Structures are given as C-alpha cells and as structure tokens.
C-alpha cells in the first residue's frame, strides 16, 4: 500500500511513535558493521537511518512503493541505496542480504504472506527476517483512543483491528505461513508525550492512513464531534500515550 501523502505529514502523524520504536527494534537484531541489510517499506527512512547508524549506510538498501517517501529516504540517508518497489515483488537476487526487516509495513501489504516470503527469499540461509506491527487489534496501539472515539459515534466504521498481524500472535502466524522458522515473538512499548490536545489531534487532519482518511470524509460538525469524543478519553494535558507493537524475528 502506498501512502498518498507528503513525507512530512506521515512523520508528524506516525513519526513520533515510529522513531522511538525503530531505536528499540534494532536492539533486537544483533546488527554488526559490514552486514548487508534491506529495509522493506522504508517510508521516509525512519528505520533505515537506525540501520545505517549501526552497519554503515553503504550496507543498507531500502525500498518503498511511494516515490515521495523514496526521495525523502534518499535525502535522509545519502549513502544508502533507496529505490521504488513493492514488498511482494522485491527486485533483488536470492540470498543477497544478511538481514531483511519491515517496520509497520506488514499490515499494509496487499499479500502479507507473499511479502514475508519475498523477504525470506532475498535473505541468505540462516540470515534474519524481522518485522513489527502496531497492536491495532488490542487496547495498546497508538491509535486506540482515536478508533475508540470513532466507534462511539459510528459503530459501523471500519478501523484497523482486522489488518494482518495486528492481533496478538497473528504476525507470527504469517511468518510461519511464509515458510519461516525458528521464530522469536515479543512486543515493544514506546511512550510519547503531548503538551496539548491540539498537538495530539492535529496530525489526524493530515489525511494519513486509514485514520486520516476517515477524518477527511467528515464534515466540520462531524470532526468537532469526533474531537470532543477523543478529548473525553484522554487525560488533561500534558499527557503520555503508550504504544505497543508486536515483533517477530525468524531465520531464513
């Protein structure tokens, strides 16, 4: 899935959560200088930058279906190779990488099993394949409060809880179906602070992802009702949001 938004909008919407997540995620990956690493669905380069900091930019390849995101990642990590393409059809030879990763991408793949199988194909035998996905199906995802308020007003609204890998254990199931073994599953929780309700709310009006698309369809009265519903569920500012992502790593 390609996000038809600017890199800046995506960063303001999800970057506050994905940047600390990337720092924690790479700690699980046993990265070493000299390794060759692929970042699948790199977006504007949040995880790509963390990978490059640990193995060197020359060892990092990144790919994303969104041309603006590809350009943003190239600017952010000038020494890395960043190109346009999809997870389900990776333009790389078999076994060319020591590690292949996907942060907050599997649940947006058109075919997650095929995407993970492609990630395994381009990873050397014994190399590592790893991914994370927000807990959108539980009560601890970064968008939990938003979708809870939406359902109060619109019980038929389609949220992100049915997306692949978002419920506990499902990301591991997808790895198994893709032919991966020696799985290690877990979770990472990051905490993000907000000084005001408006700081928390403003990114939802930027049209990013399913949540942004939902807000964009509302008229002014609908937006105000949703803002009021969200405000009821949040503490008085300043406040913090805990966001949990499921993680899986496996051997190719």
* Extended beta strands in the chain, E state: 37-40, 60-64, 81-84, 97-103, 123-134, 181-194, 239-251
Kindly report, residue by residue over 131-188, the tens digit of the pLDDT.
999 999 999 999 999 999 999 999 999 999 999 999 999 999 999 999 999 999 999 9
The rounded distance, in Å, linking the Cα atoms of 193 and 238 is: 7
Average pLDDT, rounded, for the chain: 96
3-state class (DSSP) for residue 101: strand
Mean pLDDT across the stretch 225-250?
A: 98
pLDDT for residue 2: 42
> pTM to 2 decimals?
0.95
pLDDT for residue 195: 98
The band of 3, judged by pLDDT with boundaries at 50, 70 and 90, is: low
Kindly report, residue by residue over 109-120, the tens digit of the pLDDT.
999 999 999 999
> Which 3-state string (H, E, C) describes 2-70?
CCCCCHHHHHHHHHHHHHHHHHHHHCCCCCCCCCCEEEECCCCCHHHHHHHHHHCHHHEEEEECCHHHH
CA-closest candidate to residue 44, choices 5, 98, 100, 79: 5
Q: What is the DSSP letter of 136?
A: T
Say if CB 22 and CB 48 are below 8 A apart. Answer: no
The rounded distance, in Å, linking the Cα atoms of 60 and 45 is: 11
Q: Is the pLDDT of residue 1 over 70?
A: no
Kindly report, residue by residue over 30-45, the tens digit of the pLDDT.
899 999 999 999 999 9
The band of 5, judged by pLDDT with boundaries at 50, 70 and 90, is: confident
Kindly report, residue by residue over 52-92, the tens digit of the pLDDT.
999 999 999 999 999 999 999 999 999 999 999 999 999 99
Kindly report, residue by residue over 173-221, the tens digit of the pLDDT.
999 999 999 999 999 999 999 999 999 999 999 999 999 999 999 999 9
């Amino acid at each position: 899935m390609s996000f038809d938004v600017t890199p800046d909008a995506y960063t303001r919407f999800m970057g506050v959560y994905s940047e600390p997540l990337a720092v924690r995620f790479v700690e699980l990956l046993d990265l070493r200088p000299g390794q060759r690493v692929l970042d699948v669905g790199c977006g504007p380069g949040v995880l790509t930058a963390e990978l490059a900091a640990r193995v060197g930019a020359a060892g990092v390849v990144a790919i994303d279906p969104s041309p603006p995101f590809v350009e943003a990642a190239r600017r952010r990590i000038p020494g890395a190779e960043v190109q346009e393409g999809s997870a389900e059809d990776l333009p790389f030879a078999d076994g060319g990488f020591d590690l292949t990763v996907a942060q907050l991408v599997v649940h947006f793949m058109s075919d997650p099993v095929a995407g993970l199988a492609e990630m395994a194909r381009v990873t050397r035998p014994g190399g590592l394949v790893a991914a994370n996905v927000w807990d959108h199906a539980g009560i601890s995802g970064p968008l939990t409060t938003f979708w809870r308020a939406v359902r109060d007003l619109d019980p038929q609204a389609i949220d992100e809880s049915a997306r692949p890998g978002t419920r506990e254990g499902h990301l591991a199931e997808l790895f198994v179906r893709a032919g991966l073994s020696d799985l290690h599953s877990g979770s990472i929780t990051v905490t993000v602070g907000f000084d005001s309700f408006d700081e928390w709310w403003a990114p939802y009006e930027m049209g990013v992802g399913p949540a942004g698309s939902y807000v964009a369809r509302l008229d002014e009265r609908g937006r105000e009702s949703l803002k009021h519903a969200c405000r009821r569920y949040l503490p008085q500012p300043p406040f913090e949001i805990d966001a949990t992502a499921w993680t899986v790593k496996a051997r190719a």
